A = this chain, B = another copy of it.
Amino acid sequence: MNKQKTFAVVGGDLRQVHVANRLSGEGYQVYGMLLETNMALDESVRCTNDISGILPKCDVVILPMPVTTDDVNINAPFTSYKVRVEDCIKHLNKKSSVFGGKINQRTKDLAEKTGIELVDYLEREELAVLNGVITAEGALAIAMEELPISIFQSRCVVVGHGRIAKVLARYLKAMGAQVTVAARKYSDLAWISAENCKAVHIRQLSAVVREADVLFNTVPAHILNREVLSHLKTDALVIDLASKPGGVDLDDASELGVKTIWALSLPGKVAPITAGEIVLSTIFNCLDEKGEL
């Protein structure tokens, strides 16, 4: 890429700090905005909160993930300074490439009205795949932390066969667990067999969970209903990786005495630097596709 390009990295958590540091390390001119209290920010990143002065001259603007947590201000835990989303948007240059993660509808509408093309990198498949890898690691770490048994020779059930489930099942298998994966489609069941796991149709879930030491859910629907949960051993652990509404009714779980951990947004928590790296490479892919590398 033309190393003359200027980047603004605005708000966000350690992932954004890593994005800023890496761009700076690659030789770009980088402004770190709303990040001033983070100690890990490289000195070569120019730290400023001058939204109106700096944003318009940046070729690429990278907003945080999520862009906002309160629907009003830019998500910026590393500053006490508040910037409203609309004030940020209005200073963007129409020629800039602007990125953000998990962009809410209001922000999208604002951007569209202002003529800003705003790309949500969370909707990119390659980011989802690699975040799935980190999520699988995080799920494994939780299981290792919580269980008094080893993964080796444990009996694991994974519900679903999407990105996270595929990687998680592979890791569990590599570590010597007996892995059963429950899915609905025959083609998924074929893939599960091809990946050397035991494949069961999701309608047989109640039967297969009886022996499970740990149950990982990846499907965002209440598949782990009372009936399924009631078949679990008393010392079984449920790790729910599904986004809202999750796969477990937590009230049911609580009533039945099923220990459940609902683990959301693992990438930024368990491996913020790698998660930042994934964001960055996804943004580079987007720039490449636009012919701007």
Residues of A within 8 A of B (CB): 14, 124-130, 132-134, 137-138, 140-141, 144-145, 147-153, 167, 170-171, 173-176, 185-187, 189-191, 193-194, 196, 270-274, 282, 285
Also in contact, A145 and B145, with CB within 8 A (given A187-B125, A194-B133): yes
27 contacts between A and B (CB under 8 A): A14-B148, A124-B186, A125-B185, A125-B186, A125-B187, A126-B187, A127-B190, A129-B190, A130-B193, A130-B194, A133-B152, A134-B152, A137-B144, A137-B152, A137-B175, A140-B144, A141-B145, A144-B144, A145-B145, A148-B274, A149-B271, A149-B273, A149-B274, A167-B194, A170-B174, A176-B194, A186-B285
Chain B proximity of A131: nearest CB distance (Å): 10
Select A171's contact among B145, B175, B272, beta carbons within 8 Å.
Answer: B175
Cα A282 to Cα B193 with chains together (Å): 14
Also in contact, A271 and B147, with CB within 8 A (given A125-B186, A170-B174): yes
Question: A152-B194, A170-B174 given. 11 additional CB < 8 A pairs?
Answer: A124-B186, A125-B186, A126-B187, A134-B150, A137-B150, A145-B145, A150-B274, A153-B274, A167-B194, A171-B175, A176-B194
Chain B proximity of A177: nearest CB distance (Å): 9
Chain B proximity of A273: nearest CB distance (Å): 5
A270 and B129 contacting across the interface, CB-CB below 8 Å: no
Name the CB-closest residue of B to A176.
B196
- Residues on B with beta carbons closer than 8 Å to the beta carbon of A270: 144, 150
- Residues on B with beta carbons closer than 8 Å to the beta carbon of A129: 187, 190-191, 194
- Residues on B with beta carbons closer than 8 Å to the beta carbon of A274: 148-150, 152-153
Cα A125 to Cα B189 with chains together (Å): 10
A150 and B186 contacting across the interface, CB-CB below 8 Å: no
Cα A193 to Cα B170 with chains together (Å): 14
A174 and B176 contacting across the interface, CB-CB below 8 Å: no
B133 and A176 contacting across the interface, CB-CB below 8 Å: yes
Cα A151 to Cα B274 with chains together (Å): 9
B187 and A273 contacting across the interface, CB-CB below 8 Å: no
Chain B proximity of A242: nearest CB distance (Å): 20
- Residues on B with beta carbons closer than 8 Å to the beta carbon of A147: 271
- Residues on B with beta carbons closer than 8 Å to the beta carbon of A128: 187
Cα A194 to Cα B140 with chains together (Å): 16
A190 and B125 contacting across the interface, CB-CB below 8 Å: yes
Name the CB-closest residue of B to A137.
B150
